[in-house]
Structure 1
Amino acid sequence: MATGRLTRARLRGPDFRKLAYDVYVGAAAEEDLGMRVRALRLWSQDRGTVGGPLAALAYDADCPWTDAELFVPSRYHPAPEGTTIRTDRLLPGEVAERFGAPITSPARTAFDLARRTPLVDAVAAVDAVAHACRLTTEHLRRVVEDHPRARGLVQVRRVLTLMDPRAESLPETRLRLGLLDRGVPPGVPQFRVVLLTGERVRLDLAWPNVRFALEYDGPEHRTITGQNRDAFRDAHLADLGWVVVRVPSAMVLDPRALDRLAARVRRAVA
């Protein structure tokens, strides 16, 4: 507009779409993660660092939430829709880059997600970031030590005791925590088994000492191809003495169904 190449009327017309104050994109452009990250950076006048769930998604980690946190030197008003403005201090090692813009590092992203509620979702989010970025509890513990006065440290320490980077999906973490909460001895996530055919497979949650395992059945398991693949694999596992119980999403989401599953697992692994 300053150079005369674009008028205000055209900018507000059908050729463009507003992403945030003073940030526009062509109407035909497909909005994706990279666009969201760059738009927030532009909105902050190149002074903001994207964090929270949007940063987790930028690392290809699943997340229970899709909103963004934007770390800026001073508070901005009003924030773009779906964005929380943060003025927390970020240390130099807590900033990385994705899509040509600064975002919080994997460890700092996990730290911020660990302070969210509910606890189960916080652990699931941290597990996802840890799995995608190969984080350990030590990476998260260092961030805690660097911010001794940050809010939510009690929960972060609780997350540290519960996180497990081996989990490969949010439902797997929710299943694992639901069973722990019901007194089931800890299982081993993504336990590796070599079949008699020589094929190597992984079990979502296993108790190797008694050869008992749970497999979470996501959407890919409900296709004809997925069902056939699972049937052959379960048969090969049975040849080795494994008992595999398949857990649908409804069972993880239904507390009473999870109660019954926990009782069954306790009997099997006692």
Structure 2
Amino acid sequence: MTKPFDSSHLPDVFRGSEARKAGLITASQLRGSSVRRLFQDVYTRADVEVTHELRCRGAALLAPPEAVLTGRSAATVQGVELAKPHDPVEMVVPEKHRFGPIVGIKVRRTEVTPEESRPWNGIRIARKSRIALDLLLRLSPRKSGWVRRLRIGVPDLDQFMRAESLTDLHLNREFYGRRNRGIRLARHALRLSDPRAESPPESELRIVLAAGGITATPQLEVTARTGHFLARLDLGDEKFKVAVEYDGRWHNTPKQRAHDRKRRRRVEAEGWRFVIVTAEDLANDFEGIVESVWRARRRGAFSPLTAPRPDQKGVRMARV
């Protein structure tokens, strides 16, 4: 009976060709169940949890020293988990260097100055301002629908800015005075960003409203006429007293629904009207969301907690 291969002497991420040359593993063992492949010629032990950070270190084994880990990948390595374990590893490489294509690694060739990165695992990792820029430059300007692209990029930027305590003042220098492909969309996204947003769906909802001509403030605090704090709204239009809130799936428990209703009635008593947006709405009904908010601005006689959804016909929005 063949003794099972013990892979414990192997590092948690390694190049198969180098491990074979060093006599640590054979070609047949690389095809066995004791290791798993991350990229071409890059492996990890089967007992190691595959995280995005692990895959980034694996990609670094293949990349030239001038490559810069950036975007969602660099943010995740630095503790802001924007990338899932098996999302593509994002890198930029100076124009003069050829690298890729490699399945599982997304490479853009563009200008990167030495000041925009620092050493990391044999390659380089982008600094905060460059990460923020690349979170947006990663969105292909060729794809149709600028609102759709902003709905992807702005939530990432909001989360990163919030986690790293960044403001647009910190980032203006990085976003202006350059001519990268896609920079106009990136600047527009920066103007729409707001680190007060507490979740990606809230950021997406804000972009949908902006596309419909509605400006709403994230995490707006509402106080009673007596000055007492009542609630903090996902999004609030203070001028028209319209609250727009996202109810994710965790709001569907009886206890949470009762809590939400009680809280919202306190705010309604101060003259506010609510538009509640579900995950399904946000995925499929952009025009309905915008029309509901416009109607809530115009009408104050009904309680939106019990009113039927308005007719969607005739609504026009920017292409999403």
TM-score band w.r.t. shorter chain: 0.7 to 0.9
Task: Evaluate the alpha carbon distance shift between residue 265 and residue 175 of structure 1 in structure 2; reply closer, same or farther with a 3 A threshold.
Answer: farther
Alignment of 1:1-270 (within 5 A): 1-44=20-63, 48-58=67-77, 59-62=79-82, 66-72=87-93, 74-79=97-102, 81-95=103-117, 102-115=124-137, 116-117=139-140, 118-145=149-176, 148-184=178-214, 186-193=215-222, 201-253=231-283, 254-267=285-298
1:93: Cα distance to partner?
Answer: 4.1
Alpha-carbon distance in structure 2 between the residues aligned to 1:159 and 1:261: 24
Alpha-carbon distance in structure 2 between the residues aligned to 1:45 and 1:84: 14
Task: Please give the secondary structure, in 2, of the residue aligned with 1:17.
Answer: strand
Task: Evaluate the alpha carbon distance shift between residue 96 and residue 231 of structure 1 in structure 2; reply closer, same or farther with a 3 A threshold.
Answer: farther
Task: Evaluate the alpha carbon distance shift between residue 37 and residue 13 of structure 1 in structure 2; reply closer, same or farther with a 3 A threshold.
Answer: same
With normalisation by structure 2, the TM-score equals 0.71
Query: 136-145 or 235-244: which moved more?
Result: 235-244
Alpha-carbon distance in structure 1 between the residues aligned to 2:45 and 2:73: 22
Task: Evaluate the alpha carbon distance shift between residue 264 and residue 82 of structure 1 in structure 2; reply closer, same or farther with a 3 A threshold.
Answer: farther
With normalisation by structure 1, the TM-score equals 0.82
Q: Deviations over 1:223-259 (max 9, x none)?
A: 3343233223223333444333321122223134224
Task: Evaluate the alpha carbon distance shift between residue 249 and residue 100 of structure 1 in structure 2; reply closer, same or farther with a 3 A threshold.
Answer: farther
CA contact (8 A) 1:41 1:101 kept: yes
1:217: Cα distance to partner?
Answer: 0.7
Task: Evaluate the alpha carbon distance shift between residue 258 and residue 133 of structure 1 in structure 2; reply closer, same or farther with a 3 A threshold.
Answer: same
Task: Please give the secondary structure, in 2, of the residue aligned with 1:69.
Answer: strand
Gaps of 5+ in 1: none
Task: Evaluate the alpha carbon distance shift between residue 226 and residue 91 of structure 1 in structure 2; reply closer, same or farther with a 3 A threshold.
Answer: farther
Query: 204-213 or 192-201: which moved more?
Result: 192-201
Task: Please give the secondary structure, in 1, of the residue aligned with 2:107.
Answer: strand
Q: Deviations over 1:184-228 (max 9, x none)?
A: 2x1111112357896674211112244321111112212334323
Query: 193-202 or 123-132: which moved more?
Result: 193-202
Alpha-carbon distance in structure 2 between the residues aligned to 1:175 and 1:63: 21
1:148: Cα distance to partner?
Answer: 1.6
Q: How many residues align?
A: 266
Structure whose alpha-carbon radius of gyration is higher: 2
Gaps of 5+ in 2: 1-19, 141-148, 301-320
Structure with the higher fraction of residues in helix conformation: 1
CA contact (8 A) 1:216 1:247 kept: yes
Q: Deviations over 1:77-123 (max 9, x none)?
A: 342x2322233333344336889984322321221222314233222
Task: Please give the secondary structure, in 2, of the residue aligned with 1:44.
Answer: coil
The residue type paired with residue 121 of structure 1 is: I
1:31: Cα distance to partner?
Answer: 1.1
